[in-house]
Amino acid sequence: MPAIDVQLLRKDFKVQQNRGGLKGALQDLFQRQYKEVAAVKDISFQIPKGEICGYIGENGAGKSTTIKMLTGILVPTSGEIRVNGFVPYKEREKFVSGIGVVFGQRSQLWWDIGVIESFQLLKKVYRVSDQDFKVRLDELVQRLQLEDILSRPVRKLSLGQRMRCELAASLLHNPSILFLDEPTIGLDIVVKTEIREFLISMNQRYGTTILLTTHDLQDIEALCSRVIMLDDGRIIYDGGLEELKAKWGKGKEVFLDFDNPITLARLHELTAGLETAWELIDERRAKVLIPQDRVNISEVLSRVVGVLSIRDIKIVEINTEDIVREIYKSGSSNSSSNTGDNADITSEKEEKETIGHA
């Protein structure tokens, strides 16, 4: 039995429509008009036990709506869901004892009381025995370094401290499935890394199944062996991260610094017959885009390096951000949610280069 089994899952929302102008407002007062918005459109997927799966897509793609249905907060319009064998919005008590949920933007902890008191309340809610609670708490306190913050009220914690407490809270009852909605949002890189390491250790130690939505593709790279990508309520990719890269990736970009001035014509001449795209950066520097599936990178390099004197070489793998952006562009060409505004992603690209020297 898979941990999560979703068949033709759909959620339509009824949204109130406003007619314009005074006349429209008056009409609205007496007779409301509604339209249906399909947030999730008949999607199907299975997640086996012990898998960490990334659930990604642009704003408004339907990620949170799916998570809400999977955790029983929303009732689907149609379709089937089984999580741990349960229908999430039925059999609530049995169902919730097997899952943990963290919404990065919302807290499950009580704001004004000490963290430990929140934990004790959750112990009661989930009916965890004294002994299990102690063992579990000790482990979580140690792994998430909560020792010094346990007695503080949540409102006095930093975001990173709060998120570590949220994770502990979601795991106190030892659930086998963890749903995380943007768990690293707003956190600095150190805390992000700690949280990723913690999640990997939980997964390895207890076989915890994790479904994670994130806009942070580094989360995906660090954690997920599988990615489900949603666009406008539909799944447009479901598979491994490596296949995603191989399928959609454009290849490698190589930056070359030459000892002497160089021309485009000379570079084209040297790589004649190979499908490469050269660009001059300045008179001694050039970059070349090499499509991985069609051209062998060492062939290109040997033709150039053997002839011209090279000061430095930098190889940049077209990273997942770019690939995902490509997918968004092609996958959502009919979607109104695609803004095409990816400037911030582009600017990050250079920082995440993998640098190799030939």
- Do residues 56 and 213 touch, judged by C-beta distance below 8 A? yes
- CB 268 → ligand ATP: shortest distance, Å? 44
Task: Residue 44: name the closest of 78, 2, 6, 77 by CA.
Answer: 6
d(C-alpha 55, C-alpha 70), whole Å: 13
Give the single-character DSSP code of 19: P
Closer to ligand ATP by CB, 14 or 311: give it.
14
Closer to ligand ATP by CB, 210 or 290: give it.
210
* Residue 145: both structure tokens together: 């370094």
Closer to ligand ATP by CB, 62 or 249: give it.
62
Closer to ligand ATP by CB, 61 or 202: give it.
61
- CB 73 → ligand ATP: shortest distance, Å? 10
* Cα dihedral 70, 72, 77, 78 sign: positive
- CB 55 → ligand ATP: shortest distance, Å? 9
d(C-alpha 85, C-alpha 90), whole Å: 11
* Cα dihedral 245, 249, 254, 255 sign: negative
- CB 227 → ligand ATP: shortest distance, Å? 14
d(C-alpha 344, C-alpha 294), whole Å: 30
Relative to beta strand 209-213, strand 226-231 is: unpaired
Task: Residue 36: name the closest of 67, 70, 61, 10 by CA.
Answer: 10
- CB 331 → ligand ATP: shortest distance, Å? 14
- CB 24 → ligand ATP: shortest distance, Å? 20
Order of all β-strands in the sheet with 177-181: 99-103, 177-181, 209-213, 52-57, 226-231, 234-240
Contacts with ligand ATP by CB under 6 A lie at 13, 15, 37, 39, 57, 59-65
Closer to ligand ATP by CB, 60 or 72: give it.
60
Closer to ligand ATP by CB, 57 or 183: give it.
57
- CB 216 → ligand ATP: shortest distance, Å? 12
Task: Residue 77: name the closest of 9, 155, 147, 151 by CA.
Answer: 9
Closer to ligand ATP by CB, 104 or 249: give it.
104
Closer to ligand ATP by CB, 64 or 271: give it.
64
d(C-alpha 242, C-alpha 10), whole Å: 29
- CB 11 → ligand ATP: shortest distance, Å? 8
- Do residues 285 and 256 touch, judged by C-beta distance below 8 A? yes
Closer to ligand ATP by CB, 51 or 182: give it.
182
- Do residues 139 and 202 touch, judged by C-beta distance below 8 A? no
- CB 205 → ligand ATP: shortest distance, Å? 30
d(C-alpha 52, C-alpha 224), whole Å: 5
